[in-house]
Amino acid sequence: TGASGQRKADKFETEGVNLRARKP
């Protein structure tokens, strides 16, 4: 959100992710 957040998102190709893993 906001100009700053969007600027960073555009500049560094930023995205939000949900990640998961399992410890063996």
Partner 1 sequence: MPLDTTRLRDEIRKVYSEVVGDPKKGYHFHTGPEYATERLGYSRAELAELPDAVTAPFAGVGNPLAMGRPEVGQTVVDIGAGSGTDTFLAARAVGPSGRVIAVDMTDAMLERGRENVLLTGMTQIEYRKGLAESLPVADACADLVISNGVVNLSPDKDAVFRETFRVLKPGGRLQIADIVVHKDIPPAGREDIAIWTA
Interaction site with partner 1 (CB under 8 A): 1-2, 4-5, 8, 11-24
Distance, in Å, from the CA atom of 1 to the CA atom of 6, rounded to the nearest integer, reads 6
Pair of tokens at residue 14: 């930023």
Task: Give the nearest distance from C-beta 10 to partner 1 in angstroms.
Answer: 10
Task: Give the nearest distance from C-beta 12 to partner 1 in angstroms.
Answer: 4
Cβ distance 17 to 9 under 8 Å? Answer: no
Task: Give the nearest distance from C-beta 11 to partner 1 in angstroms.
Answer: 7
